[in-house]
Amino acid sequence: MRKSLLAGALLLCPTAFAATVHWEYSGEAGPAKWARLTPEFGQCAGSNQSPVNLTALVEAELAPLQFHYLPGGKTLVNNGHTVQVNYAPGSTLQLDGMAFELRQFHFHAPSENLIEGRSYPLEGHLVHANDKGELAVVAVMFEAGRANPALSQAWQALPAKAGETRALKVPLSAEQLLPTQRGYYRFSGSLTTPPCSEGVRWLVMKQPVQVSQAQIDAFKAVMHHPNNRPVQPLNGRQVLQ
């Protein structure tokens, strides 16, 4: 299997190694130790890792993001590291002249990426893959405010235990998670969970989306711990805007 395809498979199934290699967000199996847990996690010590603090922004002519989303969120999975909404085929992001299909989205609390040093209480990652196995992640920051309609729908089936899967009564549209203004930052990075494979296109939306404090608290209650990897060095990478 090509490296790009392997990376895609691992991100779309982030617990691919979890059955044999235990990792956590703290302690002896925490982020500082990921690269040493198994050779397959070696890229966790790489030089193009995510998340990052988006600073030293570079002005660029970024093409508008073209989302073509259908209501396709059908199941929620609590894998012990996040709550993930699996998405039906047919929804795409047009990027770099290619179609990237939305495969799943999931959440981190607090946010993994920082925007000029600012942390947000919740961050969503919309994970896409093209037909070559290359990955693109759209990151959405959430701030406390009004209840988010999409999360209101999803959280009705919020799986409380690790390993639990629940079906949504009505398919959820990821379009509802996106901000009205579609400006974004772009950088090259990695998966934020083991095996930390690099070569991921990161697109971080500039405008945050509101979510209620009760919705944030509900997610944190089923996670039982923060599920954010600490920011990684940019190592000379440019963050475009």
Tell me which residues are annotated as active site.
81
Residues 54 and 114: beta-carbon distance below 8 Å: yes
Phi then psi for residue 165, to 5 deg, are: -125, 135
Quickly list H helices, 105-198. 149-155
The closest of 193, 189, 183, 99 to 141, measured between CA atoms, is 183
Q: How far apart are CA 115 and CA 212, in angstroms?
A: 21
Residues 6+ apart with CB under 8 A from 22: 29, 37
Residues 106 and 85: beta-carbon distance below 8 Å: yes
Q: What is the longest distance spanned by two Cα atoms in the chain?
A: 46
Burial (CB count <10 Å: 0-12, 13-18, 19+), residue 105: buried
